[in-house]
Chains A and B, each alone.
Chain A
């Protein structure tokens, strides 16, 4: 009897793993579909004008970065982006902050983000982007190609080498 209970529990462990995986894979499939299509959301730009995100993506290779100025990992990523991508022309940077315009300006200046070419700053105080993309937090980074197709995504910190490799692959380098 004891033997059956023991092996029954082991089978239960395996089935539990299978169930958790199946649920997670299902969620990931839904998330992948959501991230593929760029939502038509209006954000506020630094000059307080309304900008639709879908109009910004697809003109060139676009890097959409979801930030918060108080997050230390975002500060680290901003420094990395400036170090590796300053003066790079064929890449659009779209920074979406979950904060008001005044704080974005402060973050932009303290992290020298003006050194990046083709950069847009958007304010999303209503967390529309995080809600639409079901983001667990900041930072989150998405690379879209010239047709607006998602190439690579990073939840949390990105790996610069992986990002550069993804850009090189799209550019055919």
Chain B
């Protein structure tokens, strides 16, 4: 009797999970985009309010601006802080559209039939992986000293976190920030959702992600490295 009940609960849970995924897949990509974007914005807002305080701002720019100028900048910051929240969805859109376009192009070249909106949806859902470092950041700075440098250079489980940021060459910073456990998880998430959605093999989808998006990301990192060298 008890076993029967347990089995019933298990199947109901599985059913709910399936319904959740089906819902996610069949929802409008714009709706999913704004839902995910809102979640990131929420974290952005909480971290901003809790950790990027006036004191942290003042301490960071103390050596660069005079007290009068700093007070003026803090006033401006209070007046215009909402702008970053308005711009954020556009930046997030670019962050999703580029991988989606590259993967879609890859699938088109490899003669796979898929709509751009499906690939975009998968990329947006996979972006949720990057919520994890935000949660870690929120918890980490609750117990550790806060400074602008510490907040900006906080990239958990990345190559960057293994080195002292002061000793690291300027041109290595960007690629080391990108090369993280979450980037790998992101690739796997895209491949997994694509294989579920298109009913194709995971390996086949992972190959598309690695060959096209991976090579694009590599070349982009090299490009940014060159630009960093020229500006340093």
Residues of B62-104 whose CB lies within 8 A of A: 63-69
Closest chain B CB from A8 CB (angstroms): 11
Report B207 CB to chain A, min CB distance, Å: 13
With both chains docked as a complex, state the minimum distance between the C-beta of A20 and any C-beta of chain B, in angstroms: 6
Identify A157's interface contact among B65, B106, B216, B222, CB under 8 A.
Answer: B65
Shortest Cβ gap from B42 to chain A (Å): 34
**A77 and B223 within 8 A (CB):** no
A6-B105, A6-B109, A6-B212 given; A21·B65 CB < 8 A:
no
Q: Is the CB of B109 within 8 A of A79?
A: no
Question: Which interface residue of B63, B105, B215 has the most chain A CB atoms within 10 A?
Answer: B63
- C-alpha spacing A21/B216, complex, angstroms: 20
**Given A6-B109, A11-B219, A79-B69, A21 and B63 touching (CB < 8 A)?**
no
Known: A7-B215, A21-B230, A25-B229. A13 touches B66 (CB 8 A): no
| Minimum CB–CB distance for A168 against chain B, Å | 14
Question: Could you tell me if A83 and B226 are in contact, using CB atoms closer than 8 angstroms?
Answer: no
Interface size class of A (residues with CB under 8 A): 20 to 34
CB distance from A161 to the nearest CB of B (A): 4
Enumerate chain A residues within 8 angstroms of B105, measured Cβ to Cβ.
2, 6
Q: List B contacts of A24 (CB < 8 A).
A: 230-231
Q: Nearest Cβ distance between residue A155 and chain B, in whole angstroms?
A: 11
Partner of B226, one of A18, A78, A80, A162: A18
A36 at interface, CB cutoff 8 A: no
Once A17-B227, A18-B226 are accepted as A-B contacts, the answer to whether A80 and B65 lie under 8 Å apart by CB is yes
Question: Which label, helix, strand, loop or mixed, suits the secondary structure of the B interface?
Answer: helix
> Which of A83-131 touch B at CB < 8 Å?
83
How many whole Å from B211's CB to the nearest CB in chain A? 9
Task: Using CB atoms and an 8 Å cutoff, list the residues of chain A in contact with chain B.
Answer: 2-3, 6-7, 10-11, 13-14, 16-18, 20-21, 23-25, 28, 72-73, 75-80, 83, 157-162
Given A24-B231, A157-B64, 10 additional A-B pairs, CB 8 A? A6-B105, A6-B212, A10-B216, A10-B219, A16-B223, A18-B226, A24-B230, A75-B68, A83-B66, A162-B63
28 contacts between A and B (CB under 8 A): A2-B105, A2-B109, A3-B109, A6-B106, A10-B216, A10-B219, A14-B222, A14-B226, A17-B224, A17-B226, A17-B227, A20-B226, A20-B227, A20-B230, A21-B226, A21-B229, A21-B230, A24-B231, A75-B69, A76-B65, A76-B66, A76-B69, A77-B66, A79-B68, A157-B64, A159-B63, A161-B63, A162-B63
Chain B residues in the interface with A (C-beta under 8 A):
63-69, 105-106, 108-109, 212, 215-216, 219-220, 222-227, 229-231
